[in-house]
Amino acid sequence: MHCEDCARKIRKCILKMKGVESAVPDTDNSQVVVKGIFVAEELVDRVYKKTGKRAVIEKQDPYPKMVDAMSGKEKRKGW
């Protein structure tokens, strides 16, 4: 991801994916920070198919935070 146009295309592609809440590109580091609940491998495949750019997952939270509607407290899914 070398320019703002590439970043815009990749961001647009990612934001259309189900479960994605936000995608913030960083052209200086050639990274996009993606937040939401989605399958990481599907994101990698989608970016490659739609843009021709290779994607790698560097870090992910294995247990997304959920908010208990009754208490308002955060809890982690999968515990």
Domains of the chain plus CATH, in order, are 4-76 (3.30.70)
Coil vs helix vs strand at 60: coil
CA gap 42, 58 in Å, rounded = 15
Per residue in 35-75, pLDDT tens?
Answer: 998 899 999 999 999 999 999 888 877 665 655 555 555 55
Over 50: is that where the pLDDT of 79 sits? Answer: no
**What pLDDT is stored for residue 65 in this prediction?**
60
Q: What is the mean pLDDT of residues 21-30?
A: 91
- Contact yes or no for 74/65 (Cβ under 8 A): yes
Sort 21 into a burial class: Cβ within 10 Å, 0-12 / 13-18 / 19+. Answer: exposed
Query: What confidence tier does 34 reach under pLDDT thresholds 50, 70, 90?
Result: very high
**What pLDDT is stored for residue 52 in this prediction?**
92
